[in-house]
A and B are shown apart, each in its own frame.
Chain A
Amino acid sequence: MEHSPAEAVGTGAVGSGRPVAAATGVSKSFGATKALIDAHIAIRPGEAHALVGRNGAGKSTLVSLLTGLNKPDTGQITFDDVPAPPLSDRARWQSKVACVYQKSTIIPSLSVVENFYLNRQGRGVRPIGWRHLAAQAADVLAEYDIAVDPTAPASALAVDERQMLEIARALSFGAKFIILDEPTAQLDGAKITRLFDRLRRLQRSGVALLFISHHLSEVYEICDRVTVYRDARHILTAPVAGLDKDELIEAMTGEDRAARSVLTASSFLAGDAGRAPALRISGLSLQDVFTGFDVSVRAGEIVGLAGAGGSGVVTVGETAAGLHKPSSGSIEVAGRAVKTGDVTAALRAGIGFVPEDRHAQGVIPLRPIAENITLTATDRLGRRGFFTTGQMNTAGAKLMRRLDVKAEGPQQPVSALSGGNQQKVVMGRALANSPKALVLIRPTAGVDVKSKESLLGTVQQAAEDGCGALLVSDELDDLRIAHRVLVMFKGRVVCELPSGWDDNELIAAIEGLDHIEDPDHIEDLRRVEGLNHLEGTGHE
């Protein structure tokens, strides 16, 4: 392959010549919505360029323009100072720019080799030489360090392997410019490290990257320059080195630092020792996933549950919400036993649940907000299961106000909302039936800074109103609102940290390091974990 990381091209230094890709003065409207207004960006050869901005800033629109999925209303896209090809000429676009979208374009039912050579397995009347293609693919995959059998179905690949397959495929068209749209969203720590290693190698070989992420620490980790968009406009472009985090956040939010709240655990007074805990889990085990999990969450308390991918924390949360039948153990809500492995029973007992994956388990995208947000509480909307749309909208609007969902109204379909607002709808759904206990799995995954604060604020409010919350997350910012944090490693709780923990201490526990010998290593881990996100300020 021409542009393999193995053959490093030139010095690998960031060039300053003609931009490998540029947008100048581009505007784009979808109906009444102005998605981009006179925006610009220029990516130099071999640089890693970050594009950041809150949901709705215009990042996705810019990506669609740069990849030839949409045409700008005004302005121009150029590659190496040459105007972009017409939208219909996919082959030429593919030779200019490659994009790894959040949504995978790997077809799981087809083999790895076939995905790699999709629609170019062979040409003309000669039959496809599968043996030959597989051999070729094996070589390319080896270059990219992807250790998979090319004849295996792509569904057998791990998330990061699929991503690398997409990147490798994109580069095989000859593109020198790759757009990565939130590539780390679905990866855990070790995989992010691996991805970053590979990206750096690609960059050294002369490939330019446009990196889109909500995690500013990742931007500092691998990017040379950063461009900030806000409300469809270009705000700033600057070298990452020497740019203060607060300045960056300011550019994104348009508010200065003083106005931003820094979330910390509110004081929790352990009164009422005699009352039954809001949520008590004892001896909960699930074969091969976790063993002997105990926790007692009092009313008003937020308990964090932290662990890396594979530690079993997500499954603990799902089991508590009734999605899995545990092999042993019991769950009590406010002193009453709950039938395990039964979501309906868990809901009835008063467990509110925010699932891990908002797209797959959280929302019904085409249905209105009101319908989604009241889905767990339809029995409360009217008598004997009969309710009118009016009743549903009233209840929905009330919840929307409580959660600060920004939308046209309760009848707007959820799919029209930004990620942050969709997540608020999921949170609202968990709160709709006035739960006594909340089980939240990564409740702020993939949302912008403001929505994150709003969501965590809602959890704190619910706790103040007397709810007990079990907060499963690997993001330090989420865990800061917890009164104590349990850390799980390989299916067992390894330690409990009271509020005010030290970041390094928590990360060490999550990664399964008993004592910290090398502070640099922890620092590395912390950065690549993406654990130390935007507001790394109020804490040390």
Chain B
Amino acid sequence: MSEATTMSEAAGTGTATAAVRGGWSRTRWLREFSLIPAMALLVLIGFIESPDFLTGDNFLAMLQQSTELSVLVLAEAVILIGGRMDLSLESTVTLAPVVALWLVLPTSGSRFNGLGFGAEWLAIPICLLVGAAVGAVNGFLILKMNLNGFVVTLGMLTMLHGLVIVIDGGQTIFTLPSSFAYLGRHDWLGLPVSVWVCGLLFAVGIAALGWYRHGRALYAIGGNPAAAKAAGIRVERTIWIVLIIGSVLAAFAGMLYTGRLGSASASSGTGKIFEVFAATVIGGVSMNGGRGSLFGALTGVLTLKLIENVLTFGHVSADKIEFFNGVVILVALIVSRYTSGAAQD
């Protein structure tokens, strides 16, 4: 490749002085933080509402509750940046842990009997493998058979949800292997393990998409697949890998969720995918691909969770909370539309 020579030759002769990250100008850098004022305002409202709002305990709880959504948003954001979408993440969240539990739990002795296949520590690897398998199948259907991605993942969403009910017989599984429980229950240095891991995943994602060629390729693919192909990027392979990574992340989110609740069931997380899309778009990721950042997506999640928290402290009753959640999504969308200054697409 001739790039090595051309790139080293011109080295060290700097004339550009602008602050650059991901080749971005300062104005776009600012756009990353467009939700921060809104978040500050929410914190202020919460503070006025209740003395219990601005406490370490409340924020820790809020962070922990955000982890599953954050991981899902991470997955969906990466897929959306690549110009695709995956609705089936929602079902993968429940399917992967349930399959793992079903395989490793003993054949007798509790309310839910598994197959007793292998040791308990296998639960986590199996869970992640199930995720990878779902992503691989999605990729095959979308990329190799050229089926429409929206409908393929919609079909998957429904089918996998049904599969969970078939496996667990519609009941909730309360017996968890210790590895699952550990993720949901333990703290490292005062922070829940799930928060640490989630933060780490985002750090890796942000670094990969900001400073690595393969991550940047995703923006090129989402922005103009033909141009990306002409530049030598393996478009199909990259998308396939991204779909698999997305589903693995969804499986991981399912693990966190199961560990935190101490149970797994088909009904947990139903409808969550729409919250995922809402947080991602509020966070500035384009539904048409090629635009947005993982940090922005993360602020999207935190904004939604802050609003939820503020509503709870405002004593909004449970029967109204769904209505308000919808309102909040729309308002947050409008707010981010104007703070980012760009039309959403």
Interface residues of A (CB under 8 A from B): 1-2, 90-91, 94-95, 103-114, 117-123, 127-128, 130-140, 142, 149-153, 172-174
Contact = CB atoms under 8 A, between A and B. Distances in A.
B291 A118 contact: no
B57 to A, nearest CB: 37
Contacts of B224: 105, 107-108
B2 interface: yes
Interface of B: 1-7, 9-16, 18-25, 28, 207, 210-213, 216-217, 219-220, 222-224, 226-228, 230-233, 286, 290-291
A496 B10 CA distance: 54
Contacts of B6: 1-2, 172-174
A127 B207 contact: yes
B231 A119 contact: yes
B220 to A, nearest CB: 6
Nearest to A101: B230
A119 B232 contact: yes
A139 to B, nearest CB: 5
The 10 closest A-B pairs by CB, nearest first: A111-B23, A135-B14, A127-B211, A107-B223, A105-B227, A114-B23, A138-B16, A90-B232, A130-B20, A134-B16
Nearest to B2: A174
A173 B19 CA distance: 27
A122 B228 CA distance: 16
Given A105-B224, A110-B219, A131-B20, 12 more contacts: A1-B10, A91-B1, A103-B226, A108-B223, A122-B212, A127-B211, A135-B15, A136-B7, A138-B15, A151-B16, A152-B25, A173-B3
B98 to A, nearest CB: 37
Given A110-B220, A119-B213, A132-B11, A153 B207 contact: no
Contacts of A151: 16, 18-20, 23-25
A105 B16 contact: no
B232 A94 contact: yes
B25 A111 contact: yes
A402 B220 CA distance: 45
Contacts of A110: 23, 219-220, 223, 290
A113 B21 CA distance: 11
A112 B22 CA distance: 11
26 contacts: A2-B5, A90-B232, A91-B232, A107-B228, A109-B222, A109-B223, A110-B219, A111-B23, A113-B16, A113-B20, A114-B219, A118-B228, A119-B228, A119-B233, A120-B213, A122-B213, A128-B210, A130-B22, A131-B14, A135-B15, A140-B10, A150-B23, A151-B19, A151-B23, A153-B28, A173-B3
A112 B16 CA distance: 12
B217 A119 contact: yes
Interface centre among A106, A111, A150, A151 (most CB of B within 10 A): A151
B67 to A, nearest CB: 26
A121 B2 CA distance: 13
Nearest to A120: B3
Given A90-B232, A120-B213, A173-B2, A149 B25 contact: yes
A493 B198 CA distance: 64
A117 B210 CA distance: 14
Contacts of A127: 207, 211-212
Given A95-B2, A107-B290, A140-B10, A130 B227 contact: no
Contacts of B217: 119
A110 B228 CA distance: 12
Given A109-B290, A119-B213, A120-B7, A130 B14 contact: no
Given A107-B220, A172-B6, A135 B16 contact: yes
Contacts of A107: 219-220, 223-224, 227-228, 290
Interface centre among B4, B211, B222 (most CB of A within 10 A): B211
